[in-house]
Amino acid sequence: VDRFGTDAIYMKVDDKHFEVHAKVAVSDQFFGWLLGFGKRMKIIDPPEVVNEFKSYLDKIRGMYE
């Protein structure tokens, strides 16, 4: 609620997981925020944002090759 306000939809999946549906400004800053959660958060939709995040990760990984 602190990050997305009351316009977001929060749904319990099970005792250890939940989903959040929210409008966000897709940006490097947003992706950086996601990375702070490590493997505990995953973009599942829309596919174009999933692909944009994958490209973002590939660019970072490329810096270390």
Per residue in 20-53, pLDDT (tens digit) is 888 888 999 999 999 999 999 999 999 999 999 9
pTM, 2 dp: 0.80
CA dist 59 and 55 (Å) reads 6
Give 5's pLDDT tier (boundaries 50, 70, 90): low
Q: How many CB atoms lie within 10 A of CB 45?
A: 9
pLDDT of residue 7: 78
